[in-house]
Chain A
Amino acid sequence: MELQKKKSTPLWRNKKMIPIILQILFVIIIGSLLWILVHNTRIGLDRIGIRFGFDFLDLRAGFNINESLIEYSTSDPYARALLVGLLSTLRVSFFGIILSTIIGVLVGIAKMSSNWLLSKVASIYIEVFRNTPLLLQIFILNFAVFLSLPTIQEAIGVGPFYLSNRGAVIPWFNTHDLTWMWSLLLLVYVIGSFLVFKWLMKKEIEEGRDTHPFSAAFGVFVLLNIVTFFVFGQGPVNMLVPKFTGDTIVGGLALTTPFLSILLALTFFTSTYIAEIVRGGIQAVPKGQTEATQALGFRPANAMRLVIFPQAVRIIIPPMTSQYLNLIKNSSLALAVGYQEIVGVGNTVMNQSGRTLEVILVIIGVYLFFNLTISLIMNYFNKKFQLIER
């Protein structure tokens, strides 16, 4: 009898066995596909006469990179060239994230404005830059806008800014002996004025009269800075204002045409997505919250800062993370206009050394590292803001 019971559930209907069999089958199929790929790749590599390995990274690169944050010459190894590319990616992504966040938030708020005209202009901005390819925007900025500007001899001056077909020159700063002293004091002042703000805010809550905590704290900060300026006799940094000498521009910071094109295109493109995220986040906060702040007599700015925004941030952070990651990934389009970031450098290395597979693996590794880091940072912020919830 018992024997019969065991026999009555055949293998193909056994609830415990089926998943295991399915998974084994899956592993076998995927494994054999992978094996075929690896095998073919080996044959392919043999045919071109290349042995897989990363030792080529120590070989002399021999090509030039126009923009580099660290010292680089043609006699440096491939590994250093890739590092230069990596830093260029970080540079354009860093400024791109800051600029696109600022513009995105402004446009998002403008789109929610009760002013019909402003809201429509914001919508048009979003639609135009969102519905055209990013690569096209980069091409337009690089070829049709910047390269069509006059030569540097006839550079257009807009205040302290100069524009020519080589890019833009903007005011910049450099450090001097007292800079570290200044930065230390600035930190102290920030903490100090924050304490003043806290103290006045507490007083305002306790005594119920307006003590203007923000203006007072800001005033203290400005006053302390002015006093320090007169004591030291100079500002925290030396300003470098570009000067036009007739055939070239001295001083300031020169931003090249490819860098500007990719930076501005990334900013415009990503800011449209950020604008929609910000708008969606703020509008997702229930209307009752706004009405409650009005009933409690909040000023609109305070209501936004203390009630609406903290709740919106929780909704905004996760999609914002993926926008930042998209921006970093999209910065790879810079290779189309010759700004040499990691993919651009990698492409040159591939062409020169013939080590396609290895270079692609290195670049994939770099991007996965970026992803992991940003995800970890944003998860931290996410957790921090989630705690506000009950």
Chain B
Amino acid sequence: MYVNNIQQEGEFNSQLEVTAGTHLKRNNNSNLSESLKKNLFDGWKNTLLTVLTGIFSLIVIYQVITFVVTNNWDVIYDNLRLLMIGQYPIEEIWRLWIALDLVSLLIGLTWGLWKGAGKAVAATFGSVFFVFAVIPWTTLNTSLNLTASIALIAVGYFAGDRLDGLKIPTLILWALYIPLALGLITGFGGLLEPVLSREWGGWLLTVIIASISIIGCFPLGVLLALGRRSELPVIRYFCIGYIELVRGIPLIMVLFIGQLLIPLFLGGETGIDNVSRAIIAYTFFAAAYLAENVRGGLQSIPAGQYEAAQALGLNKFKLTFFIILPQALKAVIPALVGQFITILKDTSLVAIIGLADFLGTARRISNNPEYLGRYMELYIFVAAFYFIFCYLMAHVSRHLERSLSKGNQ
């Protein structure tokens, strides 16, 4: 993906410069009509272009608005719970609410403590919660829980804004969040009523697969990247071989390998459920791509850093993990976020191997004769969800990119 640009080192900076986007160029002493004229109606060619684009965008906007307003959205609200959490047992749903409350609090704290991109994240989550809380067809229970989450974002913000000492606890909580949430969802291995993976579904399953794969592929990818630059030929060629092989085949093949061959590799036993097999496949797939991104970062570290560390008498391990890696990872944070967006989008492929993730659930509902031909509503809903969260991640990534490049000036 566009992340590959980073491997050409020189370009990295030029990529940073172009992110600002176009704005109406407005001078302080010129008014709006002048700037409009300058940007839109400058010569007949430009005017023609503006008029054509304007007509086109008006038609599209009109179509979208008519579709949203005049459409019957009952297929969504009849199946909202299925789309969001799948077959998750309704008497255990409080666990999901706790997980959501916790993440809301953390988002609020992060926003209050570090400001910056936290604002966009908090605003997006808050708005999504708000929309679902006020639409009339959610139950009172859901509305109350969502309101509590919004309140927790606010509480977190004010707490974080006032108390600077919360930085370390917040970071620790973030690190513990995924295992904690997973424990809650599965039932802490028997402590609570266990909920099996076949009962997960919808957006919940998508988020679970994406987050475990992201966390799992990270150490593996870093190790592969280090291995690819190793001085030991055997390790280097093994890593090159692995990375190039995995990057050469489509994801759906990797998923097939996960679903069909993992049982074979284990001697024909199906000991692992298909959600875990999908997660394993994603992890190994994403690690190869992540390794390439990290390698881009490793290549951007000047040789002086290695020499200085050696002069200080650091051994190989300390040199790699305390000097080189932190700098390399910092340099490729935007690329890594891009990779994570790709993973989130790619989790939709499990619909092909028969799991009921967000898209898979939508597909199953559309096959229900009761909702014959209601594809557009379902898929637009799914698309909107993916769009909001992918766009949010991209926005955070751009923000990080800007604030990180500020440090280098």
Contact of B352 among A27, A283, A336 (CB under 8 A): A336
B49 at the interface (CB under 8 A from A): yes
Say what secondary structure dominates the interface of chain A. Answer: helix
Minimum CB–CB distance for B252 against chain A, Å? 5
**Using an 8 Å CB-CB cutoff, how does the interface string of B246-275 with A read, 1 for contact, 0 for none?**
001111110011001101111111000000
Contact of A315 among B8, B231, B257, B351 (CB under 8 A): B8
B17 at the interface (CB under 8 A from A): yes
Chain A: residues with Cβ within 8 Å of the partner, total of: 71
Cβ of A117 and Cβ of B14 under 8 Å apart? no
Contact of A143 among B50, B348, B379 (CB under 8 A): B379
A144 at the interface (CB under 8 A from B): yes
Cβ of A115 and Cβ of B260 under 8 Å apart? no
Chain B: residues with Cβ within 8 Å of the partner, total of: 70
B40 at the interface (CB under 8 A from A): yes
In B1-59, the 8 Å CB interface with A consists of 1-2, 4-5, 7-8, 11, 14-15, 17-18, 21-22, 24, 39-40, 42, 46, 49-50, 53-54, 56-57
Nearest opposing residue in chain B for A42, CB measure: B267
Contact of B57 among A41, A121, A136 (CB under 8 A): A121
Please choose the segment from A124-132, A221-229, A235-243 that sits at the chain B interface, where 4 or more of its residues have CB less than 8 A away.
A124-132
Q: Which residues of A contact B267 (CB under 8 A)?
A: 40-41, 43-44, 47
Nearest opposing residue in chain B for A371, CB measure: B248
B74 at the interface (CB under 8 A from A): no
Q: A363 with B386: in contact, given A115-B50, A280-B18, A336-B352 (CB under 8 Å)?
A: no
Minimum CB–CB distance for B80 against chain A, Å? 18
Cβ of A26 and Cβ of B15 under 8 Å apart? no
Q: A135 with B351: in contact, given A121-B57, A143-B366 (CB under 8 Å)?
A: yes
A315 to B264, CA, bound (A): 45
A357 at the interface (CB under 8 A from B): yes
Minimum CB–CB distance for B6 against chain A, Å? 10
Q: Which residues of A contact B363 (CB under 8 A)?
A: 139
Specify which of B50, B260, B379 lies most central, judged by the most chain A CB atoms within 10 Å of its CB. Answer: B379
Q: Which residues of A contact B65 (CB under 8 A)?
A: none
Cβ of A135 and Cβ of B249 under 8 Å apart? no
A273 at the interface (CB under 8 A from B): yes
A216 at the interface (CB under 8 A from B): no
Q: Which residues of B contact A121 (CB under 8 A)?
A: 53, 56-57
Please choose the segment from A94-102, A153-161, A318-326 that sits at the chain B interface, where 4 or more of its residues have CB less than 8 A away.
A318-326
B81 at the interface (CB under 8 A from A): no
Q: Which residues of B contact A26 (CB under 8 A)?
A: 232, 234-235, 238
Q: A23 with B232: in contact, given A115-B53, A117-B40, A360-B261 (CB under 8 Å)?
A: yes
Minimum CB–CB distance for A113 against chain B, Å? 8
A148 to B373, CA, bound (A): 7
Nearest opposing residue in chain B for A326, CB measure: B1
Contact of B264 among A30, A45, A134, A322 (CB under 8 A): A45
Cβ of B253 and Cβ of A332 under 8 Å apart? yes
A288 at the interface (CB under 8 A from B): no
Minimum CB–CB distance for B231 against chain A, Å? 7
Q: A332 with B53: in contact, given A22-B232, A44-B266, A276-B2 (CB under 8 Å)?
A: no
Cβ of A131 and Cβ of B379 under 8 Å apart? no
Nearest opposing residue in chain A for B57, CB measure: A121
Q: Which residues of B contact A335 (CB under 8 A)?
A: 252, 352
Cβ of B256 and Cβ of A283 under 8 Å apart? no
Cβ of B53 and Cβ of A117 under 8 Å apart? yes
For the complex of A and B, the 9 pairs showing the least CB-CB separation, nearest first, are A44-B268, A131-B390, A144-B375, A284-B14, A133-B348, A329-B250, A332-B250, A144-B376, A40-B267
- Using a CB–CB cutoff of 8 Å, the interface residues on chain B facing chain A are 1-2, 4-5, 7-8, 11, 14-15, 17-18, 21-22, 24, 39-40, 42, 46, 49-50, 53-54, 56-57, 231-235, 238, 245, 248-253, 256-257, 260-261, 263-269, 341, 345-346, 348-349, 351-352, 359, 363, 366, 373, 375-376, 379-380, 382-383, 386-387, 390-391, 394
30 sample A-B contacts, Cβ–Cβ < 8 Å, listed by A number: A23-B232, A23-B234, A26-B238, A41-B267, A114-B46, A116-B39, A121-B53, A123-B22, A131-B386, A133-B346, A136-B382, A139-B359, A140-B379, A143-B366, A148-B373, A148-B376, A276-B2, A280-B2, A280-B18, A283-B17, A284-B18, A315-B8, A318-B4, A319-B2, A329-B249, A329-B251, A332-B252, A336-B351, A356-B261, A363-B253
